Chains A and B, each alone.
Chain A
Amino acid sequence: MSLDKPYLDVPGTTVFDMEQSRKGYWLNQCCMSLMKAENRQRFLADQRAYLDEWPMNEEQKQAILTADMNRAIRAGGNIYFLAKWGATHGKSFQQMAGSMTGMTEFEYRDMMIAGGRSVEGNRVTGEDGNAQAHRQPQGSGTGKLL
């Protein structure tokens, strides 16, 4: 019998479940290592070499090197682990979250000040809210953190 995963039809959302966690183990553990200042320095000095120290797949390394957080999350990354990498580049949670919407930092900030994203049309895949696949990207950003 298969497991019940009712969250798979929430649009624009990846729940960090056991399957994602298993996929992203080394990517997340690598990000975790950036909680030490000396590792942050070593990472920034040569990112590719630092990533090569970890048994990640190339897709995971490219997600980091291209600063594409949606790609990193698809590859098993979790936001709280990826946040250590974002912080290494001096970025806030708001900048990180915003980058995944395709909005610029300011477009995203303004959406939040105006009360945030509405849940209407964004509960179930196939509705017409602004988080649905057919309405991406949402702004004039690059979709990248850096």
Chain B
Amino acid sequence: MARITASVYTSHVPAIGAALDLGKAGEPYWEPLFKGYQRSKQWMKEAKPDVVFLVFNDHATAFSLEMIPTFAIGTAAHYKVADEGWGPRPVPDVQGHPALAAHIAQSVIQQDFDLTIVNKMDVDHGLTVPLSLMCGQPPADNFAWPCPVIPFAVNVVQYPVPSGNRCFQLGRAIRRAIESFDEDLNVQVWGTGGMSHQLQGPRAGLINQEFDQAFLDQLIADPATLAQKPHIDYVRDAGSEGIELVMWLIARGAMSDTEPGGKAPLVRHRFYHVPASNTAVGHLILENQ
């Protein structure tokens, strides 16, 4: 049977991708940030997931205003890296896992979550920056990400976005789906985006370290209560784009302790840094026990 071994949480700031792609990772501005992910890259090599289920948001890249799915699961075999206006990032295309993705879609829809099924989608920095942070830049002689990825896009651009509790319950449904897949697979679920940031208006540049640290604490210890936090609290306290943090609740909902009798996860890594461009960067690795 497939099993979820761990969940990973990280911000997905586009400037992080640009810093890596332009060889600026060693500069004083960026060095402390990338240092915080050194342990994570080592952990990834040891954890060797067969598949990563990657929750992210599309930033007006694959989905314009023509169609805005609240939850979209990628069931394709292959995803191209998007040109977001600066040209595509020089990173490998993403290989999907159509069999597991189709299984999850079938199971989760039957658990009353109406997913949109996507068979063609270019993936933007929301998906590729977390891969770069966790896997490093793939070498030229083996230009590929270490494992297949199932992209799961959440609308957090067009308000109203799904509630924290909806995301948390969806995560639980995804766990049940993955654990009912017959093949023996080591699956990780990643939640990305956040932490506090605001990219627009005279309030741009908002950072709230107190909010972010409290969010990390509660995400670890009491996610069901955290899931009750209303949208307005994110907007007011963590910035208009801080609302991306609801996506972390999907990954957290997929951990075993969200069912009665499940053991609390082990915190393998926690990191927080301000700033990356406009954004507070938060990162956690939780392992199921």
Chain B residues whose CB sits within 8 angstroms of the CB of A36 once the complex forms: 83
Given the complex, which residues of A lie within 8 Å of B232, measured CB to CB? 6-7
Measured CB to CB, the closest approach of chain A to B50, in angstroms, equals 32
B140 is an interface residue with CB less than 8 A from chain A:
no
A111 contacts which chain B residues (CB < 8 A)?
205
Indicate if the CB atoms of A80 and B205 lie closer than 8 Å: no
Enumerate B80-94 residues with CB–CB distance to A below 8 Å.
82-87
User: Closest chain B residue to A83 by CB distance?
Assistant: B85
User: Which chain A residues lie closer than 8 Å to B60 at the CB level?
Assistant: 28, 32, 78, 80-81, 83-84
Q: Are B205 and A96 touching (Cβ within 8 A)? A: no
Say yes or no: A29-B15 contact (C-beta < 8 A), given A13-B203, A112-B278: no
User: Interface with B: A17-25, A45-53, A56-64, which one?
Assistant: A17-25
Given contacts A7-B232, A25-B65, A123-B237, contact A84 B204 (CB under 8 A): no
Q: Is the CB of A92 within 8 A of B18?
A: yes
B208 contacts the other chain (Cβ, under 8 Å)? yes
Find chain A residues with CB under 8 A from B15 CB: 92-94
- Within B39-89, the residues touching A (CB, 8 Å) are 59-61, 64-66, 82-87
196-241 of chain B: CB within 8 A of chain A? 196, 198-209, 211, 231-232, 235-237, 240-241
Contact of A84 among B84, B205, B209, B237 (CB under 8 A): B84
Contact status of A37 and B87, CB under 8 A, knowing A15-B240, A17-B160, A97-B278: yes
CA distance A78 to B198 in the complex (A): 12
**By the criterion CB–CB under 8 Å, are A131 and B206 in contact?**
yes
**B158 beta carbon closer than 8 Å to chain A:** yes
- With A13-B235, A40-B85 as known contacts, state yes or no: A93 contacts B203, CB within 8 Å: no
User: Are A115 and B201 interface neighbours, CB within 8 A?
Assistant: no
B206 contact from A6, A122, A137, Cβ within 8 A? A122
Within 8 A of B (CB), among A1-47: 6-7, 10-18, 21, 25, 28-29, 32, 34-37, 40
Q: Which residues of A contact B (CB under 8 A)?
A: 6-7, 10-18, 21, 25, 28-29, 32, 34-37, 40, 69-70, 73, 78-81, 83-88, 90, 92-94, 96-98, 100-102, 108, 111-113, 115-119, 122-124, 131, 133, 136-138
